[in-house]
Amino acid sequence: MKRYEFWDPRLFNLPFYAYLAIRTVQAGIHPKTLFKANYALENGDLRASKFRLQQTVGAAKFPPTLFVADPQGIRQKKKQVMRFAGVHHFPVIAKPDIGECGKAVKLIHDEARLDQFLPLISSDYLIQPVIQLPVEYGVFYVRYRGRPRIIGINGKTFPHVRGNGRDTLKMLIHQNPRYSHHWRGFIHDTDLGRTPAPGEIIRLSQIGSHTMGCMFTDKTHLTTPLLENAVYGLLEDVPGVNFSRLDVRAESKAEFQKGKFQLIEINGVSSLPTEMFDPQYSVFDAYRIFFRVADWLVKIAKENRYQPMKPIRLRRLFRQLQQDGRILEETHRRLLQMAG
């Protein structure tokens, strides 16, 4: 049987949504009130525009970002990206403005790869420089009654293989227990016929998603006062963001604990406590962590229930989510085919 980490998300999330519904009724709030945990963000940032979120939180806190709108032609898109790359240099990371789980994210090495990539996308995209920092963490942040907290930290181990002096890189990749068809999106840029030396470690991807092969581990014990101060400082001037997972990169574990990191992305009310996918945990451990996050979401939403927020029509929102999901899946499929 597959580990719960690789279950269909709709199946795995079902108990969480059932528990969340019960807690919402117990708290006496409407389900739409949950979005008010992040009343400053569009739909609480439930699959909302990453670019607009950056503008709300403060663009200077994120890496330089180019917004590439979909309606314009390929030639104009290429001009924009080439100007950006002229300043920040290739390779660059391209990711959907509305996306999840690392799907349809692409590392673009040069102009030739850009020419292959642009005809395959059919949504707004963000272009960012590659952050050359080796370690990545997901930091779960909440603020309740004015007090910020770090309630979880996820450490990310990127897909990699270790050479044995006999097998080719392609063989090692296919022997990896975390291999999936999604890996085609990044391994095609690697010399698959090479035979790595014994003990040689080769990192295969820059994408910090378990769908794309990352292993997640619970690193909540790494929390320090310096880290707390740095994380809290990012959102202290944005009172309408109270429930979020921050994805950050650092030079090392020690530097991360000192609060020295680069913010990559912020996720809102749909944030998962991804440390629950730690291989040492059972599915019961995972749901214990998952349900604890639901408790926080309900408490924070109830506290902010009277805050002004643009009205949300749930039926329209879910239709839009379905449409965005279809576009994302189709783009991801095309990019995998491009990889061969």
Rounded to whole angstroms, the Cα distance separating 157 from 179 reads 14
Residue 102: burial class (beta carbons within 10 Å; 0-12, 13-18, 19+): buried
Q: Do residues 115 and 182 both lie within one domain?
A: no
Rounded to whole angstroms, the Cα distance separating 60 from 64 reads 8
Rounded to the nearest angstrom, the gap between the alpha carbon of residue 233 and the centroid of all alpha carbons in its chain is 21
Residue 1 clears pLDDT 70, i.e. is over it: no
Rounded to whole angstroms, the Cα distance separating 185 from 108 reads 11
Residue-level pLDDT at 335: 83
- Between CA 49 and CA 52, with CA 50 as vertex, the angle to 5 degrees is 65
Rg (CA), the chain: 20
pLDDT tens per residue across span 137-190: 999 999 999 999 999 999 999 999 999 999 999 999 999 888 888 788 778 778
For residue 202, give both structure tokens.
């080769």
Q: Do residues 14 and 152 both lie within one domain?
A: yes
Q: Sorting pLDDT into bands at 50, 70 and 90, what band is 297?
A: very high
Q: Name the nearest CA neighbour of 102 among 229, 242, 223, 247.
A: 247
Residue 46 clears pLDDT 70, i.e. is over it: no
Q: Do residues 118 and 248 both lie within one domain?
A: no
Rounded to whole angstroms, the Cα distance separating 270 from 299 reads 15
- Between CA 249 and CA 128, with CA 194 as vertex, the angle to 5 degrees is 25
Q: Do residues 125 and 28 both lie within one domain?
A: no
Residue-level pLDDT at 207: 81
Helical (H) or strand (E) element with 96? strand 92-96
Name the pTM for this structure: 0.92
Which residues does residue 68 pair with via DSSP β-bridges, in sequence order?
125
Q: For 248-276, give one letter per residue: b (16+ CB within 10 A) or e.
A: bbbeeeeebbebbbbbbbbbbbebbbbbb
pLDDT tens per residue across span 206-236: 788 877 788 999 999 999 999 999 999 999 9
Contacts of 337 (CB under 8 A, 6+ apart): none
Provide the domain count of the chain: 3
CATH number, position 12 = 3.30.470
Residue-level pLDDT at 47: 64
Residue-level pLDDT at 319: 86
pLDDT tens per residue across span 94-121: 999 988 888 888 889 999 999 999 999 9
Is 2 inside any structural domain? no
CATH number, position 108 = 3.30.1490.20
Q: Across residues 84-96, what is the average pLDDT?
A: 95
Q: Do residues 192 and 110 both lie within one domain?
A: no
Q: Do residues 231 and 326 both lie within one domain?
A: yes
Q: Name the nearest CA neighbour of 102 among 253, 252, 265.
A: 265
Q: Do residues 217 and 298 both lie within one domain?
A: yes
Helices (H), the chain: 9-27, 50-57, 74-88, 111-117, 169-175, 184-187, 225-235, 253-257, 283-303, 314-339
Q: Do residues 278 and 211 both lie within one domain?
A: yes
Residue-level pLDDT at 200: 94
Rounded to the nearest angstrom, the gap between the alpha carbon of residue 255 and the centroid of all alpha carbons in its chain is 21
- Look up the domain containing 169 and give its range: 160-203
